[in-house]
Amino acid sequence: MYGSISKTKLRAGILERRRFDRYCLCDNEVSVFSHSYKSFGWIMDISRGGLSIEYIHTQKLDIEKEIIDIINSSDDRFFLPGIACKKVYEFEVKEKSSYHSPVTFTRCGLKCGFTERQAIKLEELVHSVENMAIS
Q: Over the stretch 66-118, which tens digit does the pLDDT of each residue have?
A: 899 998 877 667 889 999 999 899 898 877 666 777 788 889 899 999 999 99
Which residues, in sequence order, are CB contacts of 93 under 8 Å at separation 6+? 54, 104, 105, 106, 107
What are the domain boundaries of the chain? 2-134
pTM of the entire predicted model: 0.75
- The span from the CA of 99 to the CA of 107, in Å, is 20
* 43-52, 105-114, 120-129, range with the lowest pLDDT: 120-129
Residue 133 pLDDT > 80: no
- Looking at 1.20.120.80, 1.10.390.10, 3.40.50.2300, 2.40.10.220, the CATH number of the domain 2-134 comes to 2.40.10.220
Per-residue confidence (pLDDT) for residue 82, from 0 to 100: 94
Q: Are 85 and 112 in contact (CB under 8 A)?
A: yes
> Does residue 131 contact residue 124 with C-beta atoms inside 8 Å?
no
More confident of the two residues 1 and 86: 86
Tell me the CA distances in angstroms from 26 to 95, 115, 116, one per residue in order: 16, 26, 27
In SS3 terms, 111-134 reads as EEECCHHHHHHHHHHHHHHHHHHH
Confidence band of 130 (pLDDT split at 50, 70, 90): low
